Amino acid sequence: MGIHFDSGAGLFTLETAHTSYHMQVDERGHLLHLYYGRRIGQGCLSTLYPPADHGFSPDYYPNRRDRGVSPDVLPQEYTGCNVGDFRLGCLVARDEHGAAGADFLYVSHTIRPGKYALNDLPAAHDEEEEAETLIVCLKDAVTGLELELLYGVFARQDVITRAARLRNGGSAPLRLEKAASLCLDLPFGQWDLIHFHGRHAMERQMQRAPLTNAIHTVSSTRGASSHHHNPFVILCDRSATEDAGLCYGVMLVYSGSHRTDIEVDQNGSTRLVSGLHDQGFCWYLQPGESFETPEALLCCAPDGLGALSRRYHRFIRHNICRGVWRFARRPVLINNWEATYFHFDTETICRIAEKAASLGVEMLVLDDGWFGKRDDDNSGLGDWYVNENKLPGGLNPLIERINALGMKFGIWIEPEMVSEDSDLYRAHPDWAFTLPGRAPAMGRDQLVLDMGRPEVVDHLTDVLSDLLRRHHIEYVKWDMNRNMSDVYSRALPPERQGEAAHRYMLGVYRLLNRLTIAFPHVLFEGCAGGGGRFDAGMLAYFPQIWCSDNTDAIERLIIQHGTSFGYPVSAVGAHVSACPNHQTGRNTPLWTRAVVAMSGTFGYELDLGRLTDEECRQVKEQIAAFKRYYDVIQNGQYYRLSDPAREPRYVAWQTVTDSEALLNLVLTRPEGNARPLHLCLRGLEEDALYCVDTMRLYGITVTPEVHSVQAGISEGAVYSGSTLMYAGCTLPRLSGDYPSVQLHLTRVANH
């Protein structure tokens, strides 16, 4: 495994545990992509692409007479610009004359142990010292533009990271109008595209469709990875399932505007190009200056969608997330937002905390409204000092009372935004994005701070560091509640305005890096109106992200199902909320709400003081169950056991470790004369024996037609792993409004 170079053939081979990636420097010096898929070992594959004259596909100038050697047909590792490849391109580079052009030829390469680093962007790290780095250097002879293609090979994990570094090695300025992170050419095969669309409160809805001879685009121009199109796509065999079929994943480690295009061309070849969105983008490169693209995580799973997901889950936890909290047990928390919204004082919060502590909750999080002039969402953002009208004496007396209950204290902030009605905006109106001479569009009656300005990042570093130093705060919920418009930086000259949006993200990352290093004990949770910035870039600083503002458990089933294709359970912020639900008005049993929230970081977001004695007893049991199952939930292998698009009756999922398994199912559509609920488990050892030590049935309604719960798999029974996986199990008959099942199995012996 690792990186190999055959100098005689000009062949690079990148090998992981189950995959091979081949590319070759051809006789002209272009770097061609040859193969990515199931592991095949070394060997030259250039014969897969014999020269052929394709109509209206121009040839390189030296081949103008013999034809058949066209950039429009050959599989490229990273495309040039305006040189006869009419498919999707990676780059638009203009010289001082305004001419767009670049033709990159091989110069050299470097292979070294360890993982390359990016200067200002989040990227995968290699604490386990398993990675190797390949850097291939290419150059355009006319402009002097130098291209370094960066590859990080994590062989055991079947992940290859990719990024590009562009340097102006010429004597005149250049303008980059597009700079993608990677190109992936798949010359053969027919593929389905899986992507994750949505909207606020309905994020990451999985959609799968066959690719056609067209260009398919998954993108965001919102200045955030967005609620609408996640920066993660999958290409898979038309017949691929959870357990079989070739699958490719491309995930950007970036939180701003992004774009992934997939084209099926005239020859049936598929090309994917992914990276920064080029709308409004223009990066000015003086001689000697460099630009780095965001990193992409490339993964190939020859054995199905489930394996692809589990590889991403492990990689994100081990090689994207950082700090003590990526593996540490997260506290069960209560957030006051849906209990009080902006209307609270010290006594209100303490009453919530007292009730929560009596039920076993471990942390209270004080949400929006504790600072500045903040009684609604029209003022106060930017003024990160305590509103003592609500909290007399400030935060410390409140925190002391919370800590005296044996609970930790956390707080909500939204540092990247500013209200017009704030001291910060009155002092520095030029720190906000607004267009000269125009009234800005307003989202939530707030503006976006120009995080590309060093003085803005320095100010926020000082203010937030002071907040965390002066108060015993152990958790921070970092929110962002509007997307970018009116993007114009008063700190940049006209020729650099196209850099403002990307510089914003670099500033955010710079601030997060400073704070997470300075306060390693603080658990930071990301949020952007819920799941509007749920991406690998944020996970490099936040080990968990609030999955969605939609806390309806039944809708969360679909949101969390889509999220699971790329992101681990440990990253999913999930709470039990009140019923009727504040977003949908739906009533769902309290235990079912807990079963759904347990497939995340787990907490509560409701007024616990309004619960009945029976409901309080259930909360205690839920917290105890979550703590008991914590290891298998957070550290286990994740398996999707149902497809909501094909089986709308229920959603089922499972987590597995070497010693235990946890099956969860929620019935979403009960039926008269119901068909049996039959499932085949996954991930167990065939020859091992498993005891059903706990089977909980929640929210079941007994009707005259259903006099009792009909038996299926039973508590105390012992089954072999092969029986549970291949013969499967039939669950008891469920009825009523959204009942659920939680089945815990312990491995007891081998045959």
What are the structure tokens assigned to 197, written together? 């669309």
Mind listing the pLDDT tens digit for each residue in 44-97?
Answer: 788 888 888 888 999 888 888 888 889 999 999 999 999 999 999 999 999 999
Burial of 551 (0-12, 13-18, 19+ CB in 10 A): buried
Q: How many C-beta atoms surround the C-beta of residue 160 within 10 A? A: 23
336, 352 in Cβ contact below 8 A?
Answer: yes
Q: Which two tokens stand for residue 483?
A: 């997307």
Task: Identify each DSSP E strand in 676-735 by its residue range.
Answer: 677-679, 688-698, 718-720, 729-731
At residue 32, what is the residue type? L
Euclidean distance between CA atoms 353 and 334, whole angstroms: 8
Q: Which structure tokens are listed for 688?
A: 């091992």
Place of tokens 């990676």: 90
In tens, the pLDDT along 571-591 reads: 999 999 999 999 999 999 999
Q: How far is CA 378 from the centre of its chain?
A: 30
Nearest partner of 206 among 220, 216, 192, judged by Cα: 192
The 10s digit of each residue's pLDDT in 643-676 is: 998 888 999 999 999 999 999 999 999 888 888 9
Distance of alpha carbon 303 from the chain centroid: 22
Tell me the pLDDT of the chain averaged across its residues. Answer: 95
248, 38 in Cβ contact below 8 A? no
pLDDT digits (tens, 9 = 90+) for 536-559: 999 999 999 999 999 999 999 999
pLDDT tier at 751, thresholds 50, 70, 90: low
Q: What is the pLDDT of residue 510?
A: 98
- pLDDT (mean) for 507-535: 98
Q: Whole-angstrom Cα distance, residue 552 to residue 550?
A: 6
Residue 711, pLDDT score: 56
Number of CB atoms found within 10 A of residue 37's CB: 17
pLDDT at position 725, please?
A: 98
Neighbours of 34 (CB within 10 A): 23
Mean pLDDT of 310-335: 97
Angle at 411 between CA 410 and CA 412, to 5 degrees: 140
pLDDT band at 369 (very low <50, low <70, confident <90, very high): very high
Structure tokens at 75: 């599989």
Q: How far apart are CA 248 and CA 363, in angstroms?
A: 40
Contact assessment for residue 242 and residue 236, using Cβ atoms and an 8 Å cutoff: no
What is the number of helices (H) and of strands (E) in the chain? 13, 39
**Residues noted as catalytic:** 535, 615
pLDDT attached to residue 167 = 98
d(CA 332, CA 575): 9
Return d(Cα 197, Cα 195) in angstroms, integer. 6
Is residue 166 within 8 Å of 147, Cβ to Cβ? yes
Helix or strand or coil: residue 193? strand
**CA distances to 2, 35, 42, 45, 249 from 13, in Å:** 8, 9, 6, 11, 19
d(CA 576, CA 751): 40
First to last CA, the chain: 35
pLDDT at 707: 41
> How far apart (Å, rounded) are the C-alpha atoms in residues 179 and 740?
48
Angle made by CA atoms 172, 175, 179, in degrees to the nearest 5: 130
Are 648 and 620 contacting, i.e. CB atoms less than 8 angstroms apart?
A: no
Q: What is the pTM of this model?
A: 0.97
Phi–psi pair at 66, nearest 5 degrees? -90, -15
Question: CA–CA distance from 502 to each of 278, 379, 439, 466, 534 (Å)?
Answer: 11, 27, 23, 28, 18
Banded pLDDT at 706 (limits 50, 70, 90): very low
Q: Are strands 104-113 and 91-94 parallel, antiparallel or unpaired?
A: unpaired
pLDDT digits (tens, 9 = 90+) for 120-143: 999 999 998 999 999 999 999 999
Find out whether 579 and 326 touch, Cβ atoms under 8 Å. Answer: no
Tally the residues of the chain: 751
Token pair belonging to 90: 């990676």
Give Dmax over CA atoms of the chain in angstroms. Answer: 87
pLDDT given for residue 702 in this prediction: 46
pLDDT digits (tens, 9 = 90+) for 188-239: 999 999 999 999 999 999 999 999 999 999 999 999 999 999 999 999 999 9
What share of the chain has pLDDT > 70, as a percent?
Answer: 98
CA distance 530 to 133: 36
pLDDT at 710: 52
The whole-angstrom separation of Cα 671 and Cα 244 is 31
Residue 705 pLDDT class (50, 70, 90 cuts): very low
Distance CA 70, CA 83 (A): 10
Name the packing angle between helices 346-359 and 395-404 (round to 10°): 20
Least confident of 7-21, 71-85, 707-721: 707-721
Phi first, then psi: what are they for 258, rounded to 5°? Answer: -140, 165
Min mean pLDDT across 376-380, 406-410, 691-695, 711-715 is at 711-715
CA–CA gap between residue 130 and residue 108 (Å, rounded): 24
